[in-house]
Structure 1
Amino acid sequence: MTRAQVISLFPKGVDVGVGITDPRRPEGVLYPSEELAISRAVPKRRDEFRAGRSAARQAMRAVGAAPSALPARKDRLPDWPEGIAGSITHCRDLCVACASTGARAIGLDVETATELPADLWETILLPDEHEAVRSSAHPGALATLIFSSKEAAYKAQYPLSETLFGFHDLGVSITGSGHFQACFRTTAGPFQPGDTMRGRYLKTQDHILTAVVLT
């Protein structure tokens, strides 16, 4: 996955920086305030955290911001500097981070391009999403895309609402090639039932990346 591919998920006119790293071979060093968040973490978690912060600082540099510490907040999200919206996501072999000075919030999610196990569908999918998946030529792949879209949408709304909710509180529909829409089914801060967020997705041979940008 390239930076240009990731940038293509953002609306035109939104300045965005992208960082890409490999959590299996993390680069860079952590600030002392960041080390506190993983002082008791297992090695795999430490590598993922380090890769994420390294990718985030690449993204910050790309929008002209000085790289700085991104300590974990009480809710475990990165504490981005004032004036910067950002998001970090990772799977087994890829970590992607985005930073923007022109967005209110960003939600990213990356998944390996595998089929979501059917025993998870009930937990994640709403009835109409179940129907769409069952009628798809590639049901497991579509289920993974819907799951990832919900993850990205949730991550985009959270900095604005600071509201926790479940998979059934967001409905997702694929609205076209590379596009999806997430609809709130519950009140979350400034968001009301029926409010929608538009997102985009990218598929490569190995990964699915979803993004929601709130401007």
Structure 2
Amino acid sequence: MAAEAVLTGTSAARTVATLFPPGIGVGACVVGQGGPLLGAEAAAMARAVPARQAEFAAGRHAARQAMARLGLPASPIPMGEDRAPIWPAGVTGSITHHGALAFAVAARAGALALGLDAEPDEELPGDLLPLIFPDPAEQRLLAASPQPLRRAREGFAAKEAAYKCQFPRSRQLLEFTDLRLETLTADAATLRFTRAAPPYPAGAVLPVRLARAEGLVIAACADPRPDPAGAADASG
């Protein structure tokens, strides 16, 4: 059985749910319909422009939906100095938004690390290729596709999801060179650490699942390896 999704009426929300294993809460919210912020969330957005406030509120509302699927109460999810969400104790998760939609996933901390990203289902600008995929092996992988720039967009989403997945455990701000795109198909990718980011050794691999819905490329990363440092409480 796939992870359960809060009913939102969007096929993208249902798609997100299919990409994660059982026991993961999934939420979605239309930007502009996020409702009031809670606690320290409001202070974090006090000086933000209205568009950013709306995105932030939608993401937090989606996150609280995801937590509700786990039987957890609505709680503030403030933003840390590194801009990552600070989840309540015992919870880990990931938030993403693009255009009019925001999505979030949540799980009990410790057993899983999660990463979620949504990107427009369109070609990646060609001038970004050397920045995002600096390794010649990555560039050859993309060039082998009939649509290399569209495949590059999928690869970018996969890198973002893998980055978000590892961050609550490593707390390291990785560069694009630190996670190399090893394999990429229409529905899956693998990312390999090119350097150690403890607890991840150099050479460790993170799997990513990919799907498309409502004009979005959705990338999902779930790392089942136990967190050696204990329960993580932040993710992207």
Place the TM-score, normalised by the shorter chain, in its bin: over 0.9
Using the TM superposition, name which of 70-79 and 55-64 deviates more: 70-79
Residue 89 of structure 1 aligns to which amino acid in structure 2?
T
Given that 1:107 and 1:156 are in contact with CA atoms closer than 8 Å, whether structure 2 keeps it comes out as yes
- Three-state SS of the structure 2 residue aligned to 1:98 is strand
Give the TM-score, by structure 2 length. Answer: 0.85
Given that 1:161 and 1:190 are in contact with CA atoms closer than 8 Å, whether structure 2 keeps it comes out as yes
For each residue in 1:49-89, what CA deviation from the matched residue of structure 2 results, as whole angstroms up to 9, or x when unmatched?
Answer: 00000100111111111111111122111111122111000
**Corresponding residue for 2:75?**
68
Residues 104 and 3 of structure 1, relative CA distance in 2, 3 Å threshold: same
For each residue in 1:3-45, what CA deviation from the matched residue of structure 2 results, as whole angstroms up to 9, or x when unmatched?
Answer: 432121113xx3011111122x232110131011111111111
1:131 deviates by 1.0
**Hey, what's the Cα distance between the residues in 2 that align with 1:52 and 1:100?**
16
Q: Structure 1 vs Structure 2: percent identity of aligned residues?
A: 38
**Corresponding residue for 2:151?**
142
Residue 118 of structure 2 corresponds to residue 110 of structure 1: yes
Residue pairs, 1:88-167, within 5 angstroms: 88-101=95-108, 103-125=111-133, 126-167=135-176
Given that 2:117 and 2:158 are in contact with CA atoms closer than 8 Å, whether structure 1 keeps it comes out as yes
Residues 196 and 33 of structure 1, relative CA distance in 2, 3 Å threshold: same
**Hey, what's the Cα distance between the residues in 2 that align with 1:100 and 1:76?**
20
For each residue in 1:138-167, what CA deviation from the matched residue of structure 2 results, as whole angstroms up to 9, or x when unmatched?
Answer: 111100011110000010000000011211
1:197 deviates by 1.0
Given that 1:21 and 1:52 are in contact with CA atoms closer than 8 Å, whether structure 2 keeps it comes out as yes
- Three-state SS of the structure 2 residue aligned to 1:75 is coil
Given that 1:129 and 1:173 are in contact with CA atoms closer than 8 Å, whether structure 2 keeps it comes out as yes
Residue 222 of structure 2 aligns to which amino acid in structure 1?
V
**Hey, what's the Cα distance between the residues in 2 that align with 1:43 and 1:141?**
31
**Hey, what's the Cα distance between the residues in 2 that align with 1:167 and 1:94?**
26
**Corresponding residue for 1:9?**
19
Residue 159 of structure 1 aligns to which amino acid in structure 2?
P
Give the TM-score, by structure 1 length. Answer: 0.93
CA RMSD of aligned residues (A): 1.5
Given that 2:13 and 2:103 are in contact with CA atoms closer than 8 Å, whether structure 1 keeps it comes out as no
**Hey, what's the Cα distance between the residues in 2 that align with 1:205 and 1:28?**
23
For CA contacts below 8 A with separation 6 or more, give which structure has more relative contact order: 2
- Three-state SS of the structure 2 residue aligned to 1:76 is coil
**Corresponding residue for 1:41?**
48
Given that 1:180 and 1:201 are in contact with CA atoms closer than 8 Å, whether structure 2 keeps it comes out as yes
Residue 104 of structure 1 aligns to which amino acid in structure 2?
L
Residue 51 of structure 1 aligns to which amino acid in structure 2?
A
Residue 167 of structure 1 aligns to which amino acid in structure 2?
F
1:199 deviates by 1.5
Given that 2:12 and 2:213 are in contact with CA atoms closer than 8 Å, whether structure 1 keeps it comes out as no
**Corresponding residue for 2:66?**
59
Residues 45 and 205 of structure 1, relative CA distance in 2, 3 Å threshold: closer
- Three-state SS of the structure 1 residue aligned to 2:83 is coil
For each residue in 1:176-204, what CA deviation from the matched residue of structure 2 results, as whole angstroms up to 9, or x when unmatched?
Answer: 55221110001112111111111111122
Aligned residues: 212
**Hey, what's the Cα distance between the residues in 1 that align with 2:137 and 2:20?**
27
1:191 to 196, 200, 214: 200
Given that 1:199 and 1:211 are in contact with CA atoms closer than 8 Å, whether structure 2 keeps it comes out as yes
Structure 2: stretches of 5+ with no match in the other structure: 1-10, 225-236
**Corresponding residue for 2:212?**
203
1:30 to 9, 28, 37: 37
